[in-house]
Structure 1
Amino acid sequence: MKILIAEDDRRLGKLMVKMMKREQFTVDWVEDGVSARDQALSGDYDVVILDWMLPGMDGVTISRSLREEDYSGAILMLTARGELDDRVSGLDAGADDYMVKPFAFEELFARIRSLSRRNFFPVDHNVLKSHDLTIDLQNHITRRGEETIPLTPREFQLLVYFVKNPGRTLSKDQIIARVWEEESDVTFNTMEAFVKLLRKKLGQTKRNSYIKTVRGFGYMWVDDHV
């Protein structure tokens, strides 16, 4: 597993690198926010560990930026902040988990292993895999085995968004904002119709679907790795 640590406390950073290498993780370490963002986007990391207070760019800003750039690995936030509002801010920015300093390394390693099971895709920015589906991002092709599933560009965007967020409940507003972007006239009914069409093309039914309806809120992609 490949991990990026963004921590400006040199003593803690060195200790984290040492302990993670003992666990047979591949580890890189940076000490400022700008480097953390750039390194995370270029290094194919499975997990990025972000300190909340980094020079140059804070952890919440980095997390939000990574998600906007389609970083699909896990993000773990480390911070001395323990208030509920702070935790919510970090998670809303795209972090998958949150640990308050000081922490025990045994718990940190357990969190990392849990995140890797929940969020991990083989890190290939051109291909996503889930269930029996292979999604070619470069050529916009979706296959089940050797069979090509014909999707419109919007259906393809919707599928990619779901697959990149396995096990995560996505609100209808989130889906519209991400898939339709600036097209503010898109209604929930339109979005729901696309979900229905996507389920049909994937050969799913409402009761037996990779796309689970979360009543009163939105949808969740149910992945066999979650």
Structure 2
Amino acid sequence: MTAILSVASGLGGALIGAVAGVYGPRSIDSRRRQHEWALERQRLQDVQTAREAEARLAERARETEARVRVLTAMREEKEKALAAIAEATVCVQDWHRLVEWTLQDVSAGRGVDAAKFDETAERTLQAVVRAVSVLSNNAFMSDPVVRGRQAPRPVTLTMQELTVELRSQVVAPRDDFDGSRMFRYATEIREDLMKLFISERSMRTDQPPFRVGVHTAAISVSPDRGER
């Protein structure tokens, strides 16, 4: 009996060892594979997270670059406008002095150098044209009060017409020429333009010296301007 039990015990132990030899490594391999899959999933997730973070950084970089471009363009446009306003402010004064002094010479019967007149007139008018072009403000329109009520037109055209009329008087004097009317005309243009330049400059520097709206400060024209 004892021998039989010994044999049975030996067979049982062998069977258990055989089963463990078969299923033990398989269980270990399964756990290893699961661990490897978990590591691979984590690796793929880390790669995806890194790619998303990189994409967000690239997007923020593009947005920042775009903002910088916009701000740079705005700054350059502002500097360009302020430079044009500064130049035109001086040139409007020069143009008004040209008209005033030429009228004085014409009234006194003194000769006027037409070439010098043309040089100063061209320089000053071009500066005003550049400023008006840069600012693109509808307030830089004169509204001549004449029969039929013409549509508003650029004040630079009005300045040019006045300059051409004055030059015609220099080279071919007329007895009916009204210098006083022309001087009042030129003075009103200068004053209106100066107000507009001050308004435009204050809007770009955020330092308004006084309240001058771009619409309320439009070029005004008195009735006698249409009487040539």
Name the TM tier (shorter chain): under 0.3
Q: Which has the larger radius of gyration?
A: 2
Q: Which has the higher helix share?
A: 2
* Higher RCO, 1 vs 2 (CA within 8 Å, ≥6 residues apart): 2
